[in-house]
Amino acid sequence: MNDIDTLLHARWVVPVEPDATVLDHHSVAVSNGRIVAVLPTREAQTRYRAAQSIDLPTHALIPGLVNAHTHAAMTLFRGLADDLPLMDWLNHHIWPAEQKWVAPPFVREGSELAIAEMLKSGTTCFNDMYFFADDTAHVAHEAGIRACVGLIMVDFPSNYAQSPDEYLHKGLELRDRLRHSELITTAFAPHAPYTVSDAPFARIRTVNNELNIPVHIHVHETAHEVEGSLAKVGVRPFKRLERLDLVNPNLVAVHMTQLTQEEIDTLAQAGASVVHCPESNLKLASGFCPVQQLLQAGVNVALGTDGAASNNDLDMLGEMRTAALLAKGVAGDATALPAHMALRMATLNGAKALGIENRIGSLTAGKFADITAIDLAPIHSQPVYDPVSHIVYAAGRHQVTDVWVAGQHLLANGRLTTLHEVEILANAAAWRDKIFATDHHAN
């Protein structure tokens, strides 16, 4: 018998690779933070002697969910300014609130709240774009969750930096500090074509010729954005990025609700990734990402929640369901975005967008043991014919019982093991009181 750290015995294992596969009565063997094998439970019990064995007789094990677009700290603005169009929401509510409140304590405690919510809903990796990314990285590392933190870039001054040069300098310093981390990676994070001018984009492209990390950016979020670019510079935002040599395999283009077939083909040829954020787009009435056309063209499409200020949650199970339903409605095709593809978008495709698909995103031997357990025993998940169908169309985040990242048990039977939930709730209440007292009546 081989000695290992952990054996997880589940009713179903959904490895994501191979595609559309469900393994009945299988186990996942874990040692030194990585998956050793996925095999039938009877075979696992004879082959391995584990320091810890966990029986999950009514559960499906899936790869940990990858939230490919977040603004974690903005969780503290959840519900602050709802039911508004994007530019009104940004210009008159969110950006003024950020100028007033965003500083390291806000980012640390907002990120803690977000990470707690994500872990409790099965997310094991998130791709973040926000100010004071070093604080988000620190909180993520302490919590044990995987994160790709954005090296933010905007033209205008903020509480974090005063100029594009300072944003880039601080970002590269952070990237150097994190380059040996097993959990935290980095991406350039220019906010959007309408907030970043050509010179900073050119500097990012030059530096990234050496670093070769993702470039995470909002693009074609609204028709207004596209119209504004045409009026100002004479081309659509995506064409501008193309001219700046930023449309390549490192591009992680978020939202993409306004796309021509030519742009879709260009994305596919370039090997770029798109992050679809259906619930945020619906709530802000930003438009519809043509997911089926992108997938048919061979574009890697991942899923993100966006920030809790515009979603208003960080629930990737809910995002999968909305994405699958919306894709069918937009395409007029009930076969568009089937459940197994929705799960792939929320796991392996997200990992691919972040350049870490060789490390996470599927339950295969050699990858890190980033695993989520979903209990399908409750009455609203019965009977089970296809567990993946239920995960996408019927299950809720309250059915996530256990989460592991690199083999570390971060959520055990619904309880966070590395975060202090009572303290996080108290901090959130304190921020609500401060922000509400000064901002609510002004808005």
CATH number, domain of 48, equals 2.30.40.10
- Average pLDDT across the chain, whole number: 96
Same domain, yes or no: 241 and 390: no
Any domain includes 151: yes
Q: Which domain holds residue 378?
A: 2-63+367-412
CB count, 10 Å around CB of 438? Answer: 12
Q: Is the pLDDT of residue 135 over 80?
A: yes
Q: How far apart are CA 216 and CA 186, in angstroms?
A: 10
Judging by DSSP bridges, how do beta strands 273-276 and 251-255 pair with one another?
parallel
Structure tokens at 49: 């002697």
E strands, 141-197, are: 146-153, 184-190
CATH number at residue 108: 3.20.20.140
Any domain includes 163: yes
Same domain, yes or no: 275 and 383: no
> pTM for this structure?
0.97
Any domain includes 418: no
Q: Is the pLDDT of residue 442 over 80?
A: no
Q: How far apart are CA 187 and CA 256, in angstroms?
A: 19
Confidence of residue 25 (pLDDT cuts 50, 70, 90): very high
Confidence of residue 170 (pLDDT cuts 50, 70, 90): very high
Return the bridge partners of 48, or none: 2
Same domain, yes or no: 377 and 329: no
Count of structural domains, the chain: 2
Same domain, yes or no: 191 and 288: yes
Same domain, yes or no: 87 and 204: yes
Angle between helices 164-178 and 133-143 (to 10 degrees): 20
- The tens digit of pLDDT for each residue in 290-299 reads 999 999 999 9
- The tens digit of pLDDT for each residue in 383-435 reads 999 999 999 999 999 999 999 999 999 999 999 999 999 999 999 999 999 99
Same domain, yes or no: 272 and 298: yes
In percent, the amount of the chain with pLDDT more than 90 equals 94
Q: Is the pLDDT of residue 440 over 70?
A: no
Q: Is the pLDDT of residue 441 over 60?
A: no
Judging by DSSP bridges, how do beta strands 48-63 and 371-375 pair with one another?
antiparallel
As a whole number of Å, the end-to-end CA separation of the chain is 66
| Planar angle of CA 228, 305, 384, nearest 5 degrees | 140
- The tens digit of pLDDT for each residue in 218-240 reads 999 999 999 999 999 999 999 99
Instruction: Count the residues in the chain.
Output: 443
Residue 437 is predicted with a pLDDT of: 80
Confidence of residue 89 (pLDDT cuts 50, 70, 90): confident
Q: What DSSP element (H or E) covers 151?
A: strand 146-153
Q: How far apart are CA 336 and CA 342, in angstroms?
A: 10
Q: Is the pLDDT of residue 4 over 70?
A: yes
Q: How far apart are CA 419 and CA 412, in angstroms?
A: 12
Same domain, yes or no: 187 and 51: no
Same domain, yes or no: 176 and 241: yes
Same domain, yes or no: 292 and 387: no
CB-based contacts of 119, cutoff 8 Å, min separation 6: 143, 145, 403, 410, 411, 416, 419
